[in-house]
């Protein structure tokens, strides 16, 4: 009896040693990836496509585009949109870019509230990093995005970018098929692309309903298993320092210099950084990087202006916020006044609209901000805030809170994008 027990213990010990000798992070990535790919091939109504025969498979892009063959134009297909984003700009190109940005924003809007990523939101900027990744790689990651015809009103071009149920499914299928087979040997930047692809697939699938994709939970589970395997292989995190204007500068992290507006990959640790920009105040701070991290740091451009630069400020809003806007201007080294004779003006127009829905009130806030120089528009922007619901009890406070928060955010982002030297005729 003792001898049998001894051999049993020895056998268990051998199994334990073999399992310990295996790489800690290897996982079952390839088989799980195959299962997910098969599931989505089935969802498309096609036979399982072997990953080894991908080169012979019909291009997913062609299938995504064929979903609209019967529609005479993108405008007619808009009624079938599941995701959409409307952009504005001074010309068609800028309006299209803004529309794509708004579409990317709608894709990740619910990613935190639905906890589909399973990675905690860090510093409130995690979704911004994902949105930036999607936008930068939109020509690779998003398939079948359509744009409506440009509409022009008051000198502003408006375009809507959208995706239907078919283009969403085709995009996820495409992403699964283009994921590399062996990701353990990938450099951090290539691994990060794979991570973004699976996160994008997740958020896209959450955008469709059970009615649109019967058995949706089955496909979400397949993606969840694949995401878990991918995250096991993480060894770096990333941070993206964004500057909205084309200014010269660099970010220094622990004595090493990096480019701005470019993803930086770092091993997990605590870091101190300093951003130096020509003609603007330096910005410094600290950040913690973890495995799989995707940090996003937006750098405010506060100009180093000589002397006090005054500007006429006009605010039209149902919510009193002049003092908040004045403080934001002062933080940028600009003194707001009521002198209408000044050549430089800033005008902020905040509007709210409401609709009754099942006993609740749905509120939408829009913000228009413009700068004028000698009576001519220097720069303009328009922003529509994501609608929110209020009750009779919290209506006034909620509208005040959201309007102030949104307006301040838009003003700061707007000011960060202006060439103040040109605006105030400051000599180089």
* 3-class SS letters over 24-59: CCCCCHHHHHHHHHHHHHHHCCCCCCCHHHHHHCCC
Cβ atoms of 260 and 251 within 8 Å: the answer is yes
Cβ atoms of 163 and 144 within 8 Å: the answer is yes
Domains and CATH numbers, the chain: 29-46+57-232 (3.10.28.20), 237-298 (2.60.40.1120), 309-423 (3.30.160.150)
Burial of 388 (0-12, 13-18, 19+ CB in 10 A): middle
Cβ atoms of 311 and 344 within 8 Å: the answer is yes
| CA distance linking residue 179 with residue 226, whole number of Å | 11
Check the CA dihedral 233-239-245-248 and report its sign: negative
> Can you give the pLDDT of all 428 residues of the chain as single tens digits?
544 444 444 434 333 333 333 344 445 878 888 888 887 777 665 433 333 333 343 443 443 344 344 334 666 677 778 888 888 888 898 888 888 888 887 776 655 445 444 444 444 455 677 777 777 777 677 777 889 989 888 788 999 999 888 888 888 888 888 888 777 788 888 888 888 888 888 888 877 888 888 888 888 888 888 888 888 887 888 888 888 767 788 999 988 999 888 889 999 999 999 998 877 778 888 988 888 888 888 887 777 765 668 899 999 999 999 999 998 888 887 889 888 889 999 999 999 999 887 778 889 899 999 999 988 888 888 888 888 888 888 889 999 999 999 998 888 888 877 777 788 875 55
**CA 208 → CA 203, 215, 425, distances in Å?**
9, 11, 51
- Please tell me whether residue 306 adopts helix, strand or coil conformation: coil
| CA distance linking residue 260 with residue 301, whole number of Å | 13
């Amino acid at each position: 009896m003792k001898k049998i027990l001894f051999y049993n213990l020895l056998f268990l010990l051998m199994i334990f040693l073999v399992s310990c000798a295996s790489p800690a992070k290897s996982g079952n990535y390839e088989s799980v990836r195959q299962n997910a790919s098969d599931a989505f091939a089935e969802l498309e109504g096609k036979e399982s496509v072997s990953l080894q025969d991908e080169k012979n498979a019909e291009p997913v892009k062609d299938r995504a585009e064929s979903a609209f063959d019967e529609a005479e134009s993108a405008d007619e297909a808009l009624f079938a949109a599941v995701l959409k984003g409307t952009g504005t700009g001074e010309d068609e190109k800028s309006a299209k870019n803004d529309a794509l940005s708004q579409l990317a924003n709608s894709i990740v809007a619910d990613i935190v509230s639905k906890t589909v990523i399973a990675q905690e939101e860090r510093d409130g900027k995690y979704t911004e990093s994902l949105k930036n990744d999607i936008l930068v790689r939109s020509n690779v990651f998003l398939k079948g995005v359509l744009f409506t015809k440009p509409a022009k009103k008051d000198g502003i071009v408006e375009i809507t970018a959208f995706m239907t149920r078919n283009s969403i499914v085709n995009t996820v299928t495409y992403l699964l098929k283009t994921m590399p087979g062996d990701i353990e040997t990938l450099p951090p930047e290539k691994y990060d692309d794979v991570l973004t692809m699976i996160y994008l697939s997740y958020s896209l699938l959450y955008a469709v309903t059970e009615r649109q994709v019967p058995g949706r939970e089955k496909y979400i589970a397949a993606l969840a298993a694949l995401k878990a395997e991918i995250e096991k292989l993480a060894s770096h995190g990333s941070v993206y320092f964004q500057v909205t204007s084309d200014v010269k500068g660099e970010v220094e992290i622990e004595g090493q210099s990096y480019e701005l507006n470019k993803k930086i990959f770092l091993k997990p640790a605590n870091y101190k950084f300093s951003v130096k920009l020509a003609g603007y105040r330096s910005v410094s701070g600290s950040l913690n990087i973890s495995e799989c991290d995707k940090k996003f740091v937006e750098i405010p451009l506060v100009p180093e202006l000589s002397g006090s630069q005054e500007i006429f400020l006009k605010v039209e809003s149902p919510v009193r916020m002049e003092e908040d806007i004045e403080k934001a201007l002062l933080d940028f080294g600009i003194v707001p006044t009521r002198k209408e004779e000044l050549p430089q003006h800033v005008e902020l127009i905040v509007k709210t609209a409401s609709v009754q829905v099942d006993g609740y009130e749905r509120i939408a806030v829009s913000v228009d901000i413009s700068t004028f120089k000698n009576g001519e528009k220097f720069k303009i922007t328009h922003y529509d805030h994501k609608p929110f619901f209020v009750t009779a009890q919290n209506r006034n406070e909620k509208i005040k809170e959201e309007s102030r928060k949104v307006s301040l955010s838009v003003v700061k982002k707007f000011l960060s994008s202006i060439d103040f030297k040109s605006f105030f005729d400051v000599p180089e």
